[in-house]
Amino acid sequence: MTGRLANKVCIITGAASGQGRAGTEAFAREGALLVLSDVDREGLKQVAGIVSDADSEPILHHGDLTTEDANAELVDLARSRHGRVDALYNSAGLVRFSKLHETTLEDWNFVIAHELTMTFLTCKYAIRSMLETGGGSIINMSSSSGLFSSAPGHAAHAATKAGVVGLTRQVAMEYGPQGIRCNALAPSKLQYAPGQRRIEELQPLRPPTDIPLGRHARPEDTALCAVYLASDESSYTTGQVFVIDGGHNAA
C-alpha cells in the first residue's frame, strides 16, 4: 500500500465483479475507506473477504441502484459511518446487445436504466453529500462505444455511454466551483481473467490485430486510472474522458 487514497471515503458500485471488483482491490491497496455496493450479496461478501484488513473493514451495501431509495441509503450509510463521501467510482452497469432494428423497447429501457439512469442517480446523491462536505471526485464509467463507431449490436450501449460523457461534463462544469470533480473512463473491449466477472463471456475474445499495444483492455487498467482520479494527484483534472483502448482509435 502506498497510501494514495489513505483515509478517503470511497464508494464503489458494482463492486462484486468485473471492473468494480478490480477497482475495489486497487482502492484497498491505496488505503481507501471502502463503501461497496452491488446487487450480488454473495459476491460482495466474497470481495470484502479479499480486501478486508484489521484497519479498514469495508462497508457493504446490497441494493438496486436504479432506484432512488437505494442510492439515498448507500450515501447515508457512508455518511453515518465516516461522515462524508470523498470519491465515487461508478462502475456498476448491465447491458443487453442487439441490432437497433431488432431491439425491443424493453431491452432499450433496460440498458438506459442500468447504464445511464443508474449513473445519474449515484451522481445525484453523491453530489448532495459532497456539497455539504467541501467537494470530492466522481469517476463515471463510459465506453469507447460512446465515443467512436463500435461493433454491431451496440446501439443502446453506445447511446447510454455517450449520455454518460455528456452528464460527466455537465457535472464538472456545474459543480467545479464547489470543489466537485467529475471524469469518465472509456475502455474498449475488456478481457477478464477467470473469476473476475459474475457473467463469463460466451466466447473468449480473439487476440487483437488492430490495437497498437497488442492486447485488449483489462479491468485493472480502468481501476488504476480510477485510483488516480480519486486521489489528490488529479486535483486539477475534471470534465475529461480517459480513453483506455491500447491506442486503437489512434491507429
- Output the pTM of the full model: 0.94
Does domain 9-250 bear CATH number 3.40.50.300?
no
Digit-by-digit pLDDT tens for the chain (251 residues) are 479 999 999 999 999 999 999 999 999 999 999 999 999 999 999 999 989 875 678 999 999 999 999 999 999 999 999 999 999 999 999 999 899 999 999 999 999 999 999 999 999 999 999 999 999 999 999 998 888 866 788 899 999 999 999 999 999 999 999 999 999 999 988 887 766 665 555 456 778 888 999 999 999 999 999 999 999 999 999 999 999 999 988 87
Q: What is the pLDDT of residue 229?
A: 98
Sequence-distant (≥ 6) Cβ neighbours of residue 83 within 8 angstroms? 9, 133
Q: What is the pLDDT of residue 2?
A: 76
Q: What is the pLDDT of residue 195?
A: 64
Residue 140 has which C-alpha cell? 463515471
Q: What is the pLDDT of residue 250?
A: 84
| Type of residue found at 76 | D
Report how far Cα 148 is from the mean position of its chain's Cα atoms.
20
- CA distances 36 to 58, 71, 131, 170, 180, Å, are 7, 12, 21, 26, 21
Q: What is the pLDDT of residue 204?
A: 65
The answer to whether residues 238 and 183 touch, using CB atoms and an 8 Å cutoff, is yes
The answer to whether residues 126 and 182 touch, using CB atoms and an 8 Å cutoff, is no
Q: Residue ranges per domain, the chain? A: 9-250
